[in-house]
A and B are shown apart, each in its own frame.
Chain A
Amino acid sequence: MTVDHVSKAFRLPHQQYHTLKERALHPFRSSTYDILQAVDDVNVEIADGEFFGIIGRNGSGKSTLLKCMAGIYDIDDGRLEVRGRLSPFIELGVGFNMDLTARDNVMINAIMLGLTRKQARERFDEIIAFAELEDFLDLRLKNYSSGMTVRLAFSVAIQVDAEVLLIDEVLAVGDANFQQKCFDEFQRLKKAGRTILFVTHDMSAIERFCDRAMLLEKGKMLALGEPTAIARRYNELNFGRTIHGRAPETALDAQDRQREAAIVDAWFENAAGERIPAIACGEQCRACVEAHFNAPLVDPIFGVTIRNDVGATIFATTTDLEFGPTGSFAAGQTVVIRLEFANWMCPSRYNLTPSIARHGMGADAIDIREDIASLVVHSGHFTGGVVNLPHTFELLR
């Protein structure tokens, strides 16, 4: 498939709809509109048999690009060439009629996919068996759960014998068991040498299946290449924008001045010492805490607790356990405590809770700030656990 400098713009008229009456009353008034450049000079060559991912934030033009490729939208500029038969759908369940039974819908959908009536009948049992919906054949689709509907739609869709498949956000629903079946089916299609283009927000799917991926932003192609790197770029783009920790409490308030020591700021940084809102799994990471002393103190204990977004403690440590005595501090002094660790946490959001306690058992807290900094971890394989320990498999027989 060749995508050669393809551009696509939409006109967004300022009036909702035009009417003939208006045209007759104001024949010379030209209608005003904004131009939205949905796809801007995208250029890519996709090889036969390639599994290609398209990612981007909402409104980045990825679905528009897919629709252009699918021949649903006309393009303004450039050239699109598709070798081989193209699947007609870009989404699952297109043309499903909620008032008809699953039986009827399967037949209709199969015909829309390009099967003949005879072929549709022949494959009917296979489709239903794959969807595991034998018991619900004569139920109207409006009584189906969304997961069941998707299962049915997916089962029909894979019957298509197209050489090029275009898929927009497939795996949003469906239970874990069925998702696994879909993944297996993807692998089978991949082995069968189908070319698959795939729009998704699911980075683990991108990393798992795609040979290459493309990152779109505002219609432009930001990056193209190896899926893991592209997924990382996407996460940086996504999280880099929104989160910058909680507002740092730089000014000491009255309460803080009464304390012997106060935590004034906390943040995460990368190995280069730059403050970061997000980091990839597996990289070196630092949790930093800035503390101000209002009174002289000897050997206070600094603590760092990292919790995930459901509040489970993932990691907690103190200077007492690993660093030893911290020494003495004078009133008015400001220090930074830095904890460097290899980030083996699984993709999620994590919050940092720093604390300062008096010398002793660490129970006599001087200051503790719950969740004052946050970090999003991305790009790891989501294994279902909370950490992604460095690991290797061995099989001994």
Chain B
Amino acid sequence: MTPVVSEPAGRRHAPSAVGGDLRRFWNLTFTLASTDFRMTYFGSALGYLWSLMQPLMYFSVLYVVFTKIFKVQTNPPVKHYAVYMLTGIILWTFFLQTTSTSVQCLLAREGLLRKMRFPRLVVPLAVALTALFQLGMNFIAVIIFALVSGVRPTVSWLELPVLVILMAILAVGTGMILSCLYIRYRDIAPIWGVAAQILFYGSPVIYTAAKYPPGAVRIALCNPIAAINAQMEHAFVDPTAHSAARVIGGAGRLAIPLGIIFGIFALGLWFFHREAPRIAENL
């Protein structure tokens, strides 16, 4: 029998965020995420359709409200507005699902955290991975919808995975911070609910980046989600739309939203690493 199992216990014996055994770290994360994913959607035969329902319904409501009542697709006119909005909502759903599930994820895994030695970061990372599986499933629908709507595939579609990765880094970073904060302050859950709403309407998801007033657009694009969506419109939906670099006023300025993404991730990692040894007992 080949010897398996856990990292050798070091001198500092406390639980860590990542641990020494990356293979086990990944195996655990993947197992937790895939189990959760199956549990949520594949209990029923129509699981996949159900999993699509929520973002699709949300999309339909917003689409009707904003095209028929507010008419955001005109002035300036937006090409393939429906495709843009659906893609934006699917990306946003990924971000929201990751962050809002992260808030209470440590509490939800209390049984494991108190009874098992494993790297603590597995828990919020598994949440993000579950949401990522969901995003992958949703994207199948988005691509079909885009092709049916007459969007022509281009090479720039290959930028999409990069944008998703950036979004994931942002979501995981935020998730790490929120999950640690929740241990200390139990009112983080409603606070984040409100904050996420503000972020949603402040970012170009149901409208495009071109809707920002000219004076505010450069500041608005410092918001990483705004920058990602602006680039998404350019790369995926309509190549004639301005790229994020052009909207923000120069590729160099993209350093700001990118800096925020990696800054939040680094902050989250540092915070989580600091809290990891005492997560189990403080729950």
Contacts and interface: CB of A to CB of B under 8 A. Distances in A.
A331 interface: no
Interface string A67-85: 1111111110001111011
B117 A161 contact: no
A67 B113 CA distance: 11
Interface residues of A, number: 46
A19 B3 contact: no
Contacts of A94: 111-112, 115-116
A116 interface: yes
Contacts of A21: 187
B35 A72 contact: no
A370 B1 CA distance: 62
Contact of B24 (A18, A104, A114): A114
A112 interface: yes
A54 to B, nearest CB: 16
Contact of B13 (A80, A97, A99): A80
B117 to A, nearest CB: 4
A99 B115 CA distance: 20
Contact of A89 (B14, B21, B39, B115): B115
Main secondary structure of the interface of A (DSSP, over half): loop
Contacts of B118: 88, 112
A90 B115 contact: yes
Contacts of B281: 10, 73-74
Interface string A108-123: 1001111111010000
Interface string B1-26: 11111101101011100000101100
Interface size class of B (residues with CB under 8 A): 35 or more
Nearest to A115: B4
Contact of B5 (A67, A82, A85): A85
B187 A19 contact: yes
B5 A160 contact: yes
A72 B9 CA distance: 12
Q: Which of B11, B111, B114, B116 has the most CB of A within 10 A?
A: B116
A161 B5 CA distance: 7
A23 B35 CA distance: 37
Interface of B: 1-6, 8-9, 11, 13-15, 21, 23-24, 27-28, 31, 35, 39, 43, 111-118, 184-188, 191, 277-278, 280-281
Interface of A: 10, 17-21, 23, 67-75, 79-82, 84-91, 94-95, 97, 99-100, 104, 108, 111-117, 119, 160-162
